[in-house]
Amino acid sequence: MTDAFDVNTTATSALRAGRTARAAAVALAMLCASTAATAYAATQAEPVKGGEITIVNGSDIKSWDPAVTSGTFPGGPMDMLDAVYGFIVYTDVNGKVQGGMAESLTSPDAKVWTLKLRPGVKFTDGTAYDAEAVKFNWDRAADPATLAPAQAFVASWNKSIKIVDPATLEITLANPDRNFGSTLAQLAPFIASPAALKAAEKKTDIKPVGAGAFLLDSWNQGVSMTMKRNPGYWDQPRPYLDTLKFVVIPETNSRISTVVQGGATMMAGYPYQFGSNAEAAGVTTHEIPLPGLYRAYFNQTKGTFTDRRAREAFYEALQRPRLMKAYTQVEGYIAPTNYFTKDSPFYDATYKLPDYNPQHAQELFNALAKDGKPFDIKIVTYSNSDLKRLGSYLQQSLGAYENVSVKLELVDQAMLTPTCKAQGNFDLCVDGGVLVSNGAEPIISNLLSSKGNDNWGKYNSPAMDKALASANATMDPAAVKAAYGEVQKIVAADLPLYIFGSETRHLLIRNNTGGIVPSNGGILQKQFLFVCKEACTTK
């Protein structure tokens, strides 16, 4: 048995990881699930068995398809899937890949990866969680008919999977990828019972049969779901909770009220949303220490922003701290000067984003008009109150300049992705929330590479693709830093995105919540959660 609160396992893992110099760098990053919680949970109270925790979120999953993964927002669909299926590997808050349902994922050269499964793990239908099951799930995700967000990623290596033995898979990538583990953790981490998947005629028929910490007990789709502990979970005595509930409450303020009042245990959000509620009796906040960027996408395939001067003018025309104030109604934001925030190991002060310079912005607007390319833009965002304020601020501030015309279009949140990403029907598209920025893959490549899944503006730069590929291919930290230096240089030169703020995600939680172990930028490791006998989390 491994214990997240047993520091000996850390030492053991470190010893194990030190066998070869080159493998050490990778292996140290990949090994031992059991150490993941140590840094975060050790300061909390002793785990208590039993009890119930309720996580509130704004939306529900559409099906139990393990291949349909989305995002990193805590409490969301990934959390629900994780509770039942469990991450095969996951990225901890230090960006290190840890074993989850699998024991380890290692590679000596970032090209050939070995996934070692835990012996004896079974799905809740009694079938084996073995190499065949893992391969079946990944082959299914690679099939375009499954419509998995990870299809292209998995299809690039699933044909090379070699089953060494029932507990070992070997994956050979076409090119070395230092970040293979973290990409896998985000895009294809869930393994369901092949029998359950085969039995389902369509996605909505899929029964949630996994080997994760919890079993689905009841589900009122779009309203709530209740899970009970999986008595056969591999990592006993976890999970600690008897019951885990997810409740869907679309309104942010209602979610906050529910947690403050004690009707639920936790929700995710940002400090500006919590306001003084974070100071209420019985609640506290928990920071997920991964900086993320507030960003808007410039459409680089058509319209005004295909001209770099327009993108530069946009930066220079606006005071980004004021924009953040309009968005959050909170003072004190500092505009990011760079793609990487200052606390990132990759931050390079040399390559700065343009600062506020209204005179120069006006000159650029005039020059664009003179060249027959008037600054005439359509801003698309979705219609929540925060983004409406942000949109209005952009419209009013830019409206103060000459030769500028701004139209604001608000769409339903569900329609933002189809409108911007699928149809490209925008000049500037503003998405809500943050994207984790500090080098965490696959987010940076998704955002900036020409084939990136989050590259809504269709930014296409061979130099950027090359720099990102270099950062992924090398195991040498100095070379990684140099490659990300190049990324920053290109970002400052091309201005592919409008980066207007940075923030970390927070949880608003009841102060008797223990075992908070975030993974993949925010998803909680549910098996570690417990209810303390008394307040155990400080403000």
- Residue numbers of the site for other proteins (CB under 8 A)? 56, 62, 68, 144, 147-149, 151, 202, 204-205, 220-223, 247-251, 253-255, 257-258, 260-264, 277, 280, 411-415, 417-419, 421-423, 425, 453
- CA dist., res. 296 & res. 486, Å (int): 22
Smallest distance from other proteins to CB 17, Å: 36
The least distance separating other proteins from the CB of residue 279, rounded to whole angstroms, comes to: 12
Sign of CA pseudo-dihedral 181, 184, 189, 194: negative
Q: By C-beta, is 56 or 192 nearer to other proteins?
A: 56
Q: How far is the CB of 494 from other proteins (least distance, A)?
A: 24
Cβ(461)–Cβ(312) below 8 Å: no
CB of 75 to other proteins, least distance (A): 14
Judged by CB, which is closer to other proteins: 18, or 418? 418
Helix 358-370 vs helix 308-317: crossing angle, to nearest 10: 150
CB of 102 or CB of 247, closer to other proteins: 247
Helices (H) and strands (E) in the chain, counts: 18, 21
Q: Which is nearer to other proteins, 2 or 419 (CB)?
A: 419
CA 262, CA 54: separation in Å to the nearest integer?
Answer: 10
CA distance 526 to 109: 32
Nearer to other proteins by Cβ, of 254 and 403: the residue is 254
Choose between 211 and 264: whose C-beta lies nearer to other proteins. 264
- What distance in Å separates the CA atoms of residue 120 and residue 133, rounded to the nearest whole number? 13
Least Cβ distance, residue 269 to other proteins (angstroms)? 15
Q: Judged by CB, which is closer to other proteins: 20, or 204?
A: 204
We find the least distance from the C-beta atom of residue 54 to other proteins, in angstroms, to be: 9
Rounded CA-CA distance 231/254 in Å is: 34
243, β-bridge pairs: 52, 228
CA–CA distances in Å: residue 100 to residues 6, 56, 85: 17, 24, 10
Nearest-approach distance from CB 187 to other proteins, in angstroms: 11
State the Cα–Cα distance between residues 26 and 15, nearest whole angstrom.
14
Q: Give least dist CB 276 to other proteins, A.
A: 10
Selection from 519, 527, 525, 488 nearest residue 94 by Cα: 519
Residue 330 has phi, psi (to 5 degrees) of -125, 140
Between CA 529 and CA 515 the distance in angstroms is 4
Among 329, 345, 455, 430, which residue's Cα sits nearest to residue 379?
430
Please report how close the Cβ of residue 419 comes to other proteins at its closest, in angstroms. 6
Measured from the CB atom, the residue of 262 and 477 that comes closer to other proteins is 262
Please answer whether residues 305 and 455 qualify as being in contact, where contact means their C-beta atoms are separated by less than 8 angstroms. no
Decide if 110 contacts 177 (C-beta within 8 A): yes
In this complex, which beta carbon is closest to other proteins, that of residue 334 or of residue 414?
A: 414
